[in-house]
Amino acid sequence: MNEKQQKKPASPEKHAANRNPNGSTGPRTPNGKQRASRNSYKHGFYATRLFPNKELIARDGEDYKRILAIYRSHYSPVGDVEKLFVETIAVHSLRLARLLSHEQKVLGISVPFEVRSMDKILRYESTVSRRLEKATVQLERLQEARKAESNQNTDEATDDGFEAPEEPMSEEPQDADFGA
Protein backbone atom coordinates (compact mmCIF):
# COMPACT_ATOMS: atom_id res chain seq x y z
CA MET A 1 0.00 0.00 0.00
CA ASN A 2 1.23 3.46 -0.73
CA GLU A 3 0.80 6.41 1.62
CA LYS A 4 -2.35 7.73 -0.09
CA GLN A 5 -4.18 4.40 0.35
CA GLN A 6 -3.50 4.03 4.05
CA LYS A 7 -6.46 4.72 6.30
CA LYS A 8 -6.19 7.70 8.57
CA PRO A 9 -7.06 7.10 12.21
CA ALA A 10 -10.47 8.41 13.19
CA SER A 11 -10.52 11.52 15.32
CA PRO A 12 -12.12 11.53 18.78
CA GLU A 13 -14.89 13.72 17.35
CA LYS A 14 -15.63 11.09 14.69
CA HIS A 15 -15.75 8.37 17.33
CA ALA A 16 -18.17 10.44 19.39
CA ALA A 17 -20.39 11.07 16.36
CA ASN A 18 -20.50 7.37 15.49
CA ARG A 19 -21.31 6.24 19.01
CA ASN A 20 -24.82 4.88 19.36
CA PRO A 21 -26.68 7.17 21.76
CA ASN A 22 -28.61 4.27 23.28
CA GLY A 23 -25.45 2.28 23.87
CA SER A 24 -26.86 -0.74 22.06
CA THR A 25 -24.41 -3.42 21.04
CA GLY A 26 -26.99 -5.46 19.16
CA PRO A 27 -29.41 -8.18 20.10
CA ARG A 28 -28.64 -10.22 23.19
CA THR A 29 -31.37 -12.86 23.34
CA PRO A 30 -31.37 -15.91 21.07
CA ASN A 31 -34.73 -14.83 19.63
CA GLY A 32 -33.40 -11.32 18.91
CA LYS A 33 -30.24 -12.70 17.33
CA GLN A 34 -32.27 -15.01 15.10
CA ARG A 35 -34.52 -12.14 14.02
CA ALA A 36 -31.51 -9.89 13.32
CA SER A 37 -29.86 -12.61 11.25
CA ARG A 38 -32.72 -12.23 8.76
CA ASN A 39 -32.39 -8.43 8.46
CA SER A 40 -30.72 -8.46 5.06
CA TYR A 41 -32.82 -11.29 3.63
CA LYS A 42 -34.19 -10.17 0.28
CA HIS A 43 -35.12 -13.09 -1.93
CA GLY A 44 -33.03 -16.08 -0.83
CA PHE A 45 -32.07 -17.32 -4.28
CA TYR A 46 -28.44 -17.65 -3.18
CA ALA A 47 -29.04 -18.26 0.53
CA THR A 48 -26.62 -20.64 2.18
CA ARG A 49 -29.57 -22.41 3.80
CA LEU A 50 -32.34 -23.60 1.53
CA PHE A 51 -34.94 -22.97 4.23
CA PRO A 52 -33.83 -19.98 6.32
CA ASN A 53 -37.25 -19.56 7.92
CA LYS A 54 -40.35 -21.55 8.83
CA GLU A 55 -42.43 -19.92 6.08
CA LEU A 56 -40.18 -21.35 3.36
CA ILE A 57 -40.21 -24.77 5.01
CA ALA A 58 -44.01 -24.69 5.03
CA ARG A 59 -44.17 -23.45 1.44
CA ASP A 60 -41.42 -25.51 -0.24
CA GLY A 61 -40.51 -28.33 2.17
CA GLU A 62 -42.74 -30.98 0.63
CA ASP A 63 -41.75 -29.96 -2.91
CA TYR A 64 -38.09 -30.35 -2.00
CA LYS A 65 -38.66 -33.80 -0.51
CA ARG A 66 -40.56 -34.86 -3.64
CA ILE A 67 -37.85 -33.51 -5.98
CA LEU A 68 -35.12 -35.19 -3.94
CA ALA A 69 -36.98 -38.52 -3.99
CA ILE A 70 -37.38 -38.29 -7.78
CA TYR A 71 -33.67 -37.63 -8.32
CA ARG A 72 -32.65 -40.36 -5.86
CA SER A 73 -34.88 -42.81 -7.69
CA HIS A 74 -33.55 -41.75 -11.10
CA TYR A 75 -29.83 -41.71 -10.26
CA SER A 76 -29.71 -44.38 -7.52
CA PRO A 77 -26.63 -42.80 -5.93
CA VAL A 78 -23.96 -45.02 -4.41
CA GLY A 79 -21.72 -43.51 -1.74
CA ASP A 80 -21.64 -40.14 -0.05
CA VAL A 81 -20.26 -38.18 -3.01
CA GLU A 82 -23.00 -39.31 -5.38
CA LYS A 83 -25.62 -38.62 -2.69
CA LEU A 84 -24.19 -35.12 -2.25
CA PHE A 85 -24.46 -34.45 -5.99
CA VAL A 86 -28.08 -35.68 -6.01
CA GLU A 87 -28.91 -33.33 -3.13
CA THR A 88 -27.14 -30.47 -4.94
CA ILE A 89 -29.21 -31.15 -8.06
CA ALA A 90 -32.41 -31.17 -5.98
CA VAL A 91 -31.46 -27.88 -4.29
CA HIS A 92 -30.74 -26.17 -7.61
CA SER A 93 -33.97 -27.53 -9.06
CA LEU A 94 -35.95 -26.04 -6.20
CA ARG A 95 -34.12 -22.72 -6.51
CA LEU A 96 -34.86 -22.64 -10.23
CA ALA A 97 -38.54 -23.33 -9.51
CA ARG A 98 -38.56 -20.47 -6.98
CA LEU A 99 -37.01 -18.15 -9.57
CA LEU A 100 -39.55 -19.10 -12.21
CA SER A 101 -42.35 -18.51 -9.73
CA HIS A 102 -40.92 -15.11 -8.81
CA GLU A 103 -40.54 -14.25 -12.49
CA GLN A 104 -44.22 -14.98 -13.09
CA LYS A 105 -45.12 -12.75 -10.15
CA VAL A 106 -42.99 -9.89 -11.47
CA LEU A 107 -44.42 -10.21 -14.97
CA GLY A 108 -47.92 -9.99 -13.50
CA ILE A 109 -47.20 -6.73 -11.64
CA SER A 110 -47.73 -3.46 -13.46
CA VAL A 111 -45.35 -1.46 -11.23
CA PRO A 112 -42.65 0.04 -13.49
CA PHE A 113 -39.65 -0.40 -11.17
CA GLU A 114 -40.30 -4.14 -10.84
CA VAL A 115 -39.76 -4.61 -14.57
CA ARG A 116 -36.19 -3.45 -14.09
CA SER A 117 -35.58 -6.46 -11.86
CA MET A 118 -36.15 -8.82 -14.80
CA ASP A 119 -32.49 -8.58 -15.82
CA LYS A 120 -31.50 -9.72 -12.31
CA ILE A 121 -34.01 -12.55 -12.37
CA LEU A 122 -32.69 -13.73 -15.73
CA ARG A 123 -29.12 -13.54 -14.41
CA TYR A 124 -30.10 -15.57 -11.34
CA GLU A 125 -31.89 -18.11 -13.54
CA SER A 126 -28.91 -18.57 -15.82
CA THR A 127 -26.55 -18.94 -12.85
CA VAL A 128 -28.74 -21.54 -11.14
CA SER A 129 -29.29 -23.35 -14.46
CA ARG A 130 -25.51 -23.54 -15.03
CA ARG A 131 -24.97 -24.86 -11.51
CA LEU A 132 -27.71 -27.44 -12.01
CA GLU A 133 -26.25 -28.56 -15.34
CA LYS A 134 -22.72 -28.71 -13.92
CA ALA A 135 -23.80 -30.82 -10.93
CA THR A 136 -25.75 -33.16 -13.22
CA VAL A 137 -22.78 -33.62 -15.57
CA GLN A 138 -20.41 -34.22 -12.65
CA LEU A 139 -22.74 -36.81 -11.12
CA GLU A 140 -23.19 -38.63 -14.42
CA ARG A 141 -19.41 -38.70 -15.04
CA LEU A 142 -18.83 -39.99 -11.53
CA GLN A 143 -21.40 -42.75 -12.01
CA GLU A 144 -19.97 -43.70 -15.41
CA ALA A 145 -16.48 -43.95 -13.90
CA ARG A 146 -17.78 -46.06 -11.02
CA LYS A 147 -19.63 -48.40 -13.40
CA ALA A 148 -16.60 -48.69 -15.72
CA GLU A 149 -14.39 -49.52 -12.74
CA SER A 150 -16.92 -52.07 -11.52
CA ASN A 151 -17.05 -53.69 -14.97
CA GLN A 152 -13.25 -53.74 -15.16
CA ASN A 153 -13.04 -55.41 -11.75
CA THR A 154 -15.53 -58.10 -12.74
CA ASP A 155 -13.64 -58.70 -16.00
CA GLU A 156 -10.37 -59.03 -14.08
CA ALA A 157 -11.97 -61.45 -11.63
CA THR A 158 -12.96 -63.80 -14.45
CA ASP A 159 -9.51 -63.54 -16.06
CA ASP A 160 -7.56 -64.43 -12.89
CA GLY A 161 -6.61 -67.96 -13.96
CA PHE A 162 -10.13 -69.31 -13.88
CA GLU A 163 -10.17 -70.66 -17.39
CA ALA A 164 -12.64 -73.32 -18.40
CA PRO A 165 -11.00 -76.74 -18.61
CA GLU A 166 -10.51 -78.08 -22.10
CA GLU A 167 -12.22 -81.29 -23.14
CA PRO A 168 -9.87 -84.21 -22.64
CA MET A 169 -8.67 -85.72 -25.89
CA SER A 170 -9.43 -89.39 -26.02
CA GLU A 171 -7.12 -91.61 -27.94
CA GLU A 172 -9.97 -93.56 -29.47
CA PRO A 173 -11.54 -92.06 -32.57
CA GLN A 174 -15.00 -90.72 -32.13
CA ASP A 175 -17.80 -92.12 -34.19
CA ALA A 176 -17.85 -89.88 -37.16
CA ASP A 177 -19.60 -90.05 -40.40
CA PHE A 178 -17.02 -89.50 -43.11
CA GLY A 179 -19.52 -89.77 -45.91
CA ALA A 180 -19.11 -93.51 -46.38
pLDDT tens profile 12-38? 877 776 676 666 677 788 888 877 766
Domain of residue 113, residue span: 62-154
CB contact set of 36 (below 8 Å; sequence gap of 6+): 26, 27
Whole-angstrom Cα distance, residue 115 to residue 107? 7
Q: What is the pLDDT of residues 104-122, one digit of tens each?
A: 777 776 665 555 567 777 8
Yes or no: say if 52 and 44 are a contact pair by the CB < 8 Å rule. Answer: yes
Give the pLDDT band of residue 180 (cuts 50, 70, 90).
Answer: very low
Alpha helices in 109-117 (DSSP H): 112-115
> What b-and-e string marks burial along 37-59, b requiring 16 or more CB atoms within 10 Å of the CB?
eeeeeeebbeeeebbeeeebeee
The fraction of the chain above a pLDDT of 70, given in percent, is 66
172: in domain: no
**139 inside domain:** yes
**Quick check: is 105 in a domain?**
yes
Domain annotation covers residue 123: yes
Whether residue 42 is contained in a domain is answered as no
Domain assignment of residue 174, yes or no: no
| Pairwise CA distance, residues 156 & 149, whole Å | 10
In a domain, residue 31? The reply is no
How far is Cα 99 from Cα 128, in angstroms, rounded to an integer?
9
Residue 148 covered by a domain:
yes
Exposed (0-12), middle (13-18) or buried (19+): which is 119, by Cβ within 10 Å? exposed
The pTM is what? 0.57
Q: What angle do CA 29, 32, 37 make, to 5 degrees?
A: 125
Look at the chain and report how many structural domains it folds into: 1
